Every structure is written in structure tokens, then in C-alpha cells.
Amino acid sequence: MIGIISAFGAAISWTYACFIWRTQTEKYQSIDINLVKNIIAFLIFLPAFINIIFLNDIKSILTLLLSGVIGIGLGDTFYIKSLQVIGTRRTLSIETLSPFLAALSGEFFINENLSLRSYLGIIIISISLFILLRQRNNLVVNNLNQITERNNLNFYIYPLLSVLCAVSGGLLSRMVFLQKDLSPFLTTEIRLLGAIIFLITIKNFRVNFFVKKLNYEEQKRFLLSIFLGTNLGILLQQIVFKTLPLGIGWTLLSTSPVISLFFATKEEGYLTKGIIFFTTLLFLGLCLIIL
């Protein structure tokens, strides 16, 4: 039960956070946003990192560092970039491919099997996702740059790469939890460290600490998004990886498109009946997988 609650909590936290990050992508590069948010999140959870001196398993540490590089360093950068080019709801909708990839990864790599009902749920999700992506709208966010939404692979490569990286990072975390009884706090901090090392290397050790350029209200919103989306979100995600099979856990984490309905009106200005219907149908597909 704690895994299920954690999954829904992570989905809610992540959805709200990415809605805030979406507003920052018009001004700053996705890699800068990702690096800064990870550094601040790492500092918030710094006391948990002290426990690493009691962890003598180098293999687990290296695996979690790699999980952070792939899942957070690369995955979140592609994710934030996707928010910039196609918007929140479309990004979250494409992220619903992750249950299918996570379930297959769990089956092939750690012997977690898929049921027939799970396959049916995946089919429903895929059809709903396809219909949602066929909606051709030009979205305007707070009178900022227009997001052109057309069926162009150039626009959708970022969320697809985000899915691949996120699932790979989750798989590595799940592998560690199956072998070691580690604290989700500690594993969160190690993954954040891996992401920071990777991103700061890519940036040639130059950090664009743009937070000081934001006004007071923007700073509060950005710090809140870090706590919810990075600290709380990844912590709850780690609890999910520890307590639930990868496919089931990731399916619950992927309820974000439904949650995003509460934010979509701010981004799109309206919700069509088709969007509501097929997003609800997508949610029913997710239910089939976990029930």
C-alpha cells in the first residue's frame, strides 16, 4: 500500500513541478534548469548523504550513480526540453509509453512478468495516446512563445529520449533494491550526485545559477518546484522502486497525464471533450494494468 500511495504522491508532485519548470524554459536552457534544481535538491537532502560512509558496497553506489546520470541527468534534461517544445500535457502523454517499456524491462532483466490484463491496458493506453497526439493545436502559454504542435518527430524526440532514460534509471534503482536493503533517502541522494557530476562536467564546471536573477515570487515557486518535483518526487519514486515491481510501479507513476488536466486549462486555455474522454480512457487502461 505504501508503494501505491507513494506512486500517486510522486505523480502529483512531479506534475505540479513540471508545470512550474515549463514557465522557466522560455528564459533558460533545460540543462541549466536541471543542474541547478539537482544541486539545490542535493543540498536539501545532504544529511542523508552522511550515511554513505556506512555503505561499503561499491557496486551499489556505482549503479546508483549511473542511475542518476541516465535517469536524472539525461532523462530530466530531455524532459524539461520537451516541456519547452511541446508543452506539459503532450509531454506527460508521451511519458505513458514508460509503463510498457518498464514492464518489458522488468520482465527481461529482473524476471517480473506481465499479465494478459496488463497487455490489454497497454493497448488501451497506446490507442488513447495516439488519439491525444492527433489533436493539432497551437498552444500559447502566458503570451510567451507559441508552442507549435504538429506530428513532427523532431518535436517528439525529446520526450521519447526522456522515457528511455527514465526507465533505464528506474531499472538500475530497482536492481539495487532487490539486492540491498537501502534507505530511499540515501539512494535519492546518490542518484542526485551522479546527475550533478555528469551535468557539471558537460557544462565544463560552469553553473548558471539563474535563481538569483528571478524575482522573489519566481524564486519561491522555483524552490517549491524543486522540493516537490526533485526531493519529494524522487524520494517517493525510490520508495516505489523498492516496494513494487517495476512495471506496476511505473504504471502508477504514469498517472501524470490525468493529473495534468488540472493544470492544462492554464496552459491551453480550454479542454476539449475529446481530450477529457481519451485522457480518461488512458487512465482506465492504467487501472487495468494494476488491478
Percent of the chain having pLDDT more than 90?
A: 32
Burial class of residue 136 (count of CB atoms within 10 Å of its CB; 0-12, 13-18, 19+): exposed
Distance, CA of 123 to CA of 110 (rounded, Å): 23
Q: Which one has a higher pLDDT value, 109 or 273?
A: 109
pTM of the predicted model as reported, rounded to 2 decimal places: 0.83
Asked whether the beta carbons of 20 and 225 are under 8 A apart, the reply is: yes
Average pLDDT score over residue span 195-209: 91
Distance, CA of 127 to CA of 144 (rounded, Å): 32
pLDDT per residue as tens digits for the range 226-253: 998 899 999 999 999 999 889 888 878 8
pLDDT per residue as tens digits for the range 96-135: 788 888 988 998 999 888 788 877 887 787 777 667 656 5
Backbone dihedral region of 133: left (phi > 0), alpha (psi from -120 to 50 degrees) or beta?
alpha
Asked whether the beta carbons of 2 and 239 are under 8 A apart, the reply is: yes
- The three cell numbers of residue 280 are 480518461
- Radius of gyration over alpha carbons of the chain, in Å? 18
pLDDT at residue 270 in the model: 59
Distance, CA of 278 to chain centre? 21
Residues 6 or more apart from 289 whose CB is under 8 A from it?
99, 103, 117, 118, 121, 122, 247, 248, 251
Which helix (DSSP H) or strand (DSSP E) does residue 57 occupy? none
What end-to-end distance do the CA atoms of the chain give, in Å?
13
pLDDT at residue 20 in the model: 78
Q: Of 38, 28, 100, which Cα lies nearest the Cα of 229?
A: 38
pLDDT per residue as tens digits for the range 68-103: 999 999 999 998 888 888 876 677 777 778 888 898
pLDDT per residue as tens digits for the range 181-197: 888 999 999 999 999 99
140 has pLDDT over 70:
no
269 has pLDDT over 70:
no
pLDDT at residue 66 in the model: 97
Average pLDDT score over residue span 149-168: 80
- The three cell numbers of residue 29 are 536552457
Eight-class DSSP state of 149? -
| Residue 290 CB neighbours (<10 A) | 18
pLDDT per residue as tens digits for the range 14-67: 877 877 777 776 778 889 889 999 999 999 988 888 777 777 789 999 999 999
Q: Which one has a higher pLDDT value, 146 or 127?
A: 127
Going by pLDDT thresholds of 50, 70 and 90, the confidence category of residue 155 is confident
Going by pLDDT thresholds of 50, 70 and 90, the confidence category of residue 264 is low
